[in-house]
Amino acid sequence: MNTYLSIVNNMDFNTLLHEKAELINHTLAQLLASQQIDSKLKESLKYTLGTPGKRVRSALALWCCELVSGQTNRNAEISAAAIEMVHTYSLVHDDLPAMDDDDLRRGVPTCHKAFDEATAILTGDALLTLAFEILAKEVDEPTIAVKLIAQLAQDAGPSGMIAGQMADLRAENGRGNKELLEYIHTNKTAKMFRCAAAMGAICGGASKQQIDQLSEYGLKIGLGFQIADDILDVSASSEQLGKTAGKDAKAAKCTYPAVVGIDKARELEKKLADEAVAVLEPFGKKADTLRQLAMALLERTK
Ligand code: GRG
């Protein structure tokens, strides 16, 4: 793609992402406002959910619903909010002193710095449980709600994101290899992208085949997203990222730049984006936004 076209496409894509982020922010604010909870906890939930995240996973859920059904719907919006809650909980807990011990997230103080450690632990716990509560109570069809809950539990739980985080912690200061790296990144990051794609597709009434295809797309862009994150950690500044840069190398983490080198990591990222685009073939032109997403992730700067 020439540079001009690439810029034009990214502008279009950023507008589309911004539109979805606004809808997700509105849904999150509405869901939170209706909760009867302790005032300090509510304040910290508002703080963490209100910080400027990119909303990529939740937007993916909405786009997958649109792709299979022609439009988004309330169940997809609830799913997008649930995904964003689980993702935000993982960041709040990951930033805690017992984990990554970070002061900066999304350009502002981390939850335990803005409040205190105990409040941050409870904020994470509240986000995780609230995600499942809204799926159980707000999704209008019980059989769909159960499918969504099962998908989120599977991809965020001990055989998904938690498994990845555990392996990541155990690999610190150890020798990484490509197999371990793929295991960590697939579980820690890619499965939440798969989850978003699958949940959106389920809300749109997708066939089993469509759910499988979109899940595969989600896994590929999710792995690419984490490789890009590894590369940005060594190539961008903390100001640009809104979180502390250079932490992976300092903690001797098992990352793509550390194990295969930065050039090979870039090659792999591109290969995954191409493979993700290839998976979308059966959806035709309707999947153009998802194609743009796969390519935009290659060019992301934060
Ligand atoms: C359950 C404690 C716990 C952790 C799970 C997801 C995770 C493991 C830890 C969070 C830290 C981390 C580096 C995760 C990898 C995924 C990733 C790149 C997260 C950042 O996602 P973005 O860039 O964040 O989409 P925003 O702020 O835009 O939402």
Has residue 246 got a pLDDT over 90?
Answer: no
Which residues make beta-bridge pairs with 109? 104
- Taking the centre of ligand 1 as the mean of its atom positions, its distance from the CA of residue 93, in whole angstroms, is 10
Average pLDDT over residues 8-24: 87
Has residue 220 got a pLDDT over 50?
Answer: yes
Q: Which atom of ligand 1 is nearest to the CA of 165?
A: 8
- Report the C-alpha gap between 85 and 293 in whole angstroms: 21
- Report the C-alpha gap between 124 and 47 in whole angstroms: 12
Model-level pTM? Answer: 0.93
Count H helices and E strands in the chain, helices first. Answer: 16, 2
| Confidence class for position 209, pLDDT limits 50, 70, 90 | very high
- Report the C-alpha gap between 223 and 144 in whole angstroms: 27
Has residue 176 got a pLDDT over 90?
Answer: no
The per-residue pLDDT of the chain, averaged, comes to 92
| Confidence class for position 87, pLDDT limits 50, 70, 90 | very high
CA-nearest of 48, 21, 43 to 33 is: 43
pLDDT at 37: 94
Q: CB–CB of 180/167 below 8 Å?
A: yes
Q: Name the residue of 14, 91, 104, 106 whose CB sits within 8 Å of the most ligand 1 atoms, as the mutation to test its pocket.
A: 91
3-class DSSP assignment, residue 215: helix
Average pLDDT over residues 108-127: 98
- Taking the centre of ligand 1 as the mean of its atom positions, its distance from the CA of residue 87, in whole angstroms, is 7
- Taking the centre of ligand 1 as the mean of its atom positions, its distance from the CA of residue 179, in whole angstroms, is 21
pLDDT at 4: 40
Q: CB–CB of 148/82 below 8 Å?
A: yes
Q: Which residues 6+ apart lie within 8 Å of 246 measured at CB?
A: 233, 234, 238
| Confidence class for position 7, pLDDT limits 50, 70, 90 | very low
Cα–chain-centroid distance for residue 37? 26
For atom 10 of ligand 1, the residue with the nearest CA is 91
Q: Could you give the C-alpha distances from 74 to 66, 79, 133, in angstroms and in order?
A: 12, 9, 15
- Among 77-81, 257-261, 269-273, the minimum mean pLDDT is found in 257-261
Q: Which atom of ligand 1 is nearest to the CA of 168?
A: 8
Has residue 8 got a pLDDT over 60?
Answer: no
- Report the C-alpha gap between 212 and 56 in whole angstroms: 20
Measured from CB, residues less than 6 Å from any atom of ligand 1 are 53-54, 56, 87, 90-91, 93-94, 99, 106, 161-162, 165, 188-189, 226, 229
